[in-house]
Chain A
Amino acid sequence: DGGITQSPKYLFRKEGQNVTLSCEQNLNHDAMYWYRQDPGQGLRLIYYSQIVNDFQKGDIAEGYSVSREKKESFPLTVTSAQKNPTAFYLCASSIGTGGPTEAFFGQGTRLTVV
């Protein structure tokens, strides 16, 4: 089945640690996105990538980093510089610029700082 796989589903981080969230898609989509979801605040864009080896900051990129070395993979690293990382993180993909806009989402990773 085609889709987006996020792992792990739950992740616990200690203060001062970096953690990496995985996102893999087999939809052959060019564009990939990372969103952060907090209660009552909707989806806020962290980073997005339209093509391999290129990505742009979204609205809340501080404390996060990404890479796009392969078309199907877009991992997100939550660094120790992110002061409030506890949230639900969603990865999405779409065909890309010029194509249908429907964004397909993964099942999310819930990150908790302990």
Chain B
Amino acid sequence: QQQVKQSPQSLIVQKGGISIINCAYENTAFDYFPWYQQFPGKGPALLIAIRPDVSEKKEGRFTISFNKSAKQFSLHIMDSQPGDSATYFCAARDKRSARQLTFGSGTQLTVLP
């Protein structure tokens, strides 16, 4: 079964600090790696995504780092803010599969004021 392993399960960071969430995968057919942000009681929304032909993508305070050889990718949130407190999911797509995305188990981020 395709899997994406995500860690940590929960993370507490002080305001202004760096939040780092990690994901690992085994399926070499994955070709697209998005991160979703979910606030309580809401549906997830796409935050940032990367393809395996680049090692890093940055959008504002959010950066994805991708290590193809290690089959790992991570989300870095710089200057973390209380408004960033949410659950974050990594995901991966196997383009051969109609089911599209496989999600990690999620990380609950709390940014303390």
Contacts and interface: CB of A to CB of B under 8 A. Distances in A.
A101 B100 contact: yes
Interface residues of B, number: 23
A26 B36 CA distance: 21
Contact of B99 (A40, A58, A102, A104): A58
B43 interface: yes
Interface string B40-80: 01111110010000000000000000000000000000000
B105 interface: yes
B100 A105 contact: no
Contact of B98 (A4, A6, A35, A97): A97
B28 interface: no
B1 A59 contact: yes
Nearest to B105: A42
Contacts of B49: 102
A56 B104 contact: no
Contacts, number: 60
A41 B41 contact: no
B101 A41 contact: no
A48 interface: yes
B5 to A, nearest CB: 10
Interface string A18-52: 00000000000001010100001111010010100
Interface of A: 4, 6, 31, 33, 35, 40-43, 45, 48, 50, 56, 58-59, 90, 92, 94, 97, 101-108, 110
Given A90-B43, A101-B100, A102-B46, 11 more contacts: A41-B106, A42-B89, A42-B104, A42-B105, A48-B99, A50-B98, A56-B98, A101-B101, A105-B44, A105-B45, A108-B42
